[in-house]
């Protein structure tokens, strides 16, 4: 047998890209590749990219520039760009960086082995189709090797919401759900390989409608069925849209113990005028009422969100509404971004807010969110939580894991093994993590 070729794959952006990178590495595994941790000795470099904001997309070009020396020294090195920049910019990438041999979009990476062979033969290989076939059905079977105790599993892709700022409906395409039976089979397989926690992924995951046995499964039904899988102890899902938060899913948060008490539910802004301009199709009040219903079902649930500041037309009063919403909801954690105009999106036509004003607002908003995050973490001190341990910590004898609320928790105790779920009493809150001791 010939020597395996080496693949260096670097992932940017969201959790779905992390999942996709795993699957792409598996697809290329069938073509004789094994993964390597450095680009220096790689036969193929693959960047799995993100197009959500300008900064993320531009970073790819500077990253590619850094590989120029390697490509000059070894012209047979294959350089590929995958993911959402590939989808959005296609051939343009090869024009801007002629050393790129291969461009593949997120919906066609099952064709990677063919594309790699084409690139290797010296031709440029490009595929940014939205093919009719389901890529997952054309992927090699997943390997059987043991793996980390937590895993991502894509159940839904694409988005039909068309928020005015967002490229996702263009880069990931229309909403598609994977059949429930396939998801369940993949989940069982992951559990056999040592996985105890699965995060179900989708750009609009709570809009999941997976066909199964002639029926149409909601995300709640999928979660309940997954909860029956022995050995799977924790279920999470992300990212959700407020308008798809159906009653059955809210109920599952109340009575399905394996569904973790953490929900990422972005609202983006707190001003009705801006929400309308963003095409979010709900008001601030509707969102707040929704959070109340979710908290009625599961009082300790930790809410997370995304915010955009400086959306075109945002006034001081609009921004004040966003700050008021944040105060009213009380976030356990949240992500916030300065608006970035994205080519092809409706909002890109509109005049920008003064960048200095937007920067100042972002700082103010982030200070409030950081304060809420700190207070939420502090409130854990003295409480008992369950922690799934994932890896050794920096101190000797210490292990790190995630609590049900997704906080990182450090415990020094040499009876803890990777993959254990243990009750932990939280004793201290640090900058970005908690510390505690085993209970009982």
Binding site for ligand 5AD (CB under 6 A): 52-53, 165-166, 266, 268, 306, 308, 337, 339-340, 342
Please tell me the distance from the alpha carbon of residue 343 to that of residue 350, in angstroms, as a whole number: 12
Which of the listed partners (ligand SF4, ligand 5AD, none) does 337 bind, with a CB threshold of 5 to 8 Å by partner kind?
ligand 5AD
- Provide, rounded to whole angstroms, the least separation between the CB of residue 342 and ligand SF4: 10
- Provide, rounded to whole angstroms, the least separation between the CB of residue 309 and ligand 5AD: 9
Q: Residue 322 or 376: which CB sits closer to ligand 5AD?
A: 322
Number of residues that bind ligand SF4 (CB under 6 A): 10
Q: Cβ of 31: how many Cβ atoms within 10 Å?
A: 17
Interacting residue with ligand SF4 among 7, 115, 155, 168 (CB under 6 A): 168
Interacting residue with ligand SF4 among 57, 64, 84, 163 (CB under 6 A): 163
Packing angle between helix 284-297 and helix 316-329, nearest 10 degrees? 10
Specify the stretch interacting with ligand SF4 by CB under 6 A; choose among 65-73, 110-118, 162-170, 423-431.
162-170
Q: What is the CA radius of gyration of the chain?
A: 22
The structure tokens listed for 411 are 């415990």
For residue 385, how many C-alpha atoms fall within 13 Å in the half-sphere facing its CB?
30
Q: Tell whether residue 166 is a contact of ligand SF4 (CB under 6 A).
A: yes
Q: Tell whether residue 118 is a contact of ligand SF4 (CB under 6 A).
A: no
Please tell me the distance from the alpha carbon of residue 95 to that of residue 5, in angstroms, as a whole number: 27
CB-based contact 46:10 (threshold 8 Å):
yes
Q: Tell whether residue 162 is a contact of ligand SF4 (CB under 6 A).
A: yes
Interacting residue with ligand SF4 among 9, 64, 159, 187 (CB under 6 A): 159
- Tell me how far CA of residue 344 lies from CA of 162, 176, 223, 339, 358, in angstroms: 11, 22, 35, 15, 22
Strands of 234-238's sheet in order across: 150-154, 197-201, 234-238
Interacting residue with ligand SF4 among 177, 204, 271, 377 (CB under 6 A): 204
Q: Exposed, middle or buried: residue 404 (CB in 10 Å: 0-12, 13-18, 19+)?
A: buried
- Provide, rounded to whole angstroms, the least separation between the CB of residue 165 and ligand SF4: 7
Q: Tell whether residue 169 is a contact of ligand SF4 (CB under 6 A).
A: yes
**DSSP tag of 396:** T
Q: Residue 7 or 52: which CB sits closer to ligand SF4?
A: 52
- Provide, rounded to whole angstroms, the least separation between the CB of residue 163 and ligand 5AD: 7
Please tell me the distance from the alpha carbon of residue 223 to that of residue 248, in angstroms, as a whole number: 10
Contacting positions for ligand SF4 (CB under 6 A): 159, 161-163, 166, 168-169, 203-204, 241
């Amino acid at each position: 047998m010939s020597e395996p070729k080496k693949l260096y794959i670097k992932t940017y952006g969201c959790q779905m890209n992390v999942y996709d990178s795993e699957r792409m590495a598996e697809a290329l595994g069938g073509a004789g590749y094994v993964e390597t941790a450095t680009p220096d000795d790689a036969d193929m470099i693959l960047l799995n990219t993100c197009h959500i904001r300008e900064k993320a997309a531009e970073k790819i070009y500077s990253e590619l520039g850094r590989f120029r020396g390697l490509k000059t020294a070894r012209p047979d090195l294959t350089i590929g760009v995958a993911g959402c920049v590939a989808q959005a910019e296609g051939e343009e990438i090869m024009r801007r960086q002629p050393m790129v041999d291969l461009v593949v979009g997120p919906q066609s990476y099952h064709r990677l082995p063919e594309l790699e062979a084409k690139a290797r033969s010296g031709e440029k290989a490009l595929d940014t189709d939205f093919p009719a076939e389901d890529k997952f059905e054309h992927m090699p079977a997943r390997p059987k090797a043991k793996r980390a105790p937590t895993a991502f599993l894509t159940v839904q892709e694409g988005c039909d919401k068309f928020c005015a700022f967002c490229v996702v409906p263009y880069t990931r395409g229309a909403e598609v759900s994977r059949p429930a039976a396939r998801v369940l089979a993949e989940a069982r397989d992951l559990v056999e390989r040592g996985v105890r926690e699965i995060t179900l992924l989708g750009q609009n995951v709570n809009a999941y409608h997976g066909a199964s046995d002639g029926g149409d499964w909601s995300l709640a039904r999928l979660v309940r069925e997954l909860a029956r899988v022995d050995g799977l102890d924790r279920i999470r899902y992300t990212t959700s849209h407020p308008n798809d938060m159906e009653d059955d899913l809210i109920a599952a948060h109340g009575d399905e113990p394996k569904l973790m008490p953490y929900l990422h539910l972005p609202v983006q802004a707190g001003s009705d005028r801006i929400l309308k301009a963003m095409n979010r199709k709900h008001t601030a009040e509707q969102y707040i009422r929704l959070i109340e219903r979710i908290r009625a079902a599961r009082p300790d649930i930790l809410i997370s969100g995304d915010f955009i500041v400086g959306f075109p037309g945002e006034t001081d009063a609009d921004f004040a509404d966003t700050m008021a919403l944040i105060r009213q909801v009380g976030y356990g954690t949240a992500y916030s971004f300065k608006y970035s105009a994205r080519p092809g999106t409706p909002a890109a036509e509109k005049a920008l807010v003064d960048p200095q004003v937007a920067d100042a607002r972002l700082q103010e908003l982030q200070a409030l969110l950081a304060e809420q995050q700190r207070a939420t973490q502090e409130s854990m001190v003295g409480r008992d939580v369950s922690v799934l341990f994932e890896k050794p910590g920096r101190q000797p004898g210490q292990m790190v894991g995630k609590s049900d609320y997704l906080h990182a928790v450090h415990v020094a105790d040499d009876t803890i093994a990777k993959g254990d779920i243990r009750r932990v009493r939280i004793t201290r809150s640090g900058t970005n993590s908690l510390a505690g001791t085993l209970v009982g």
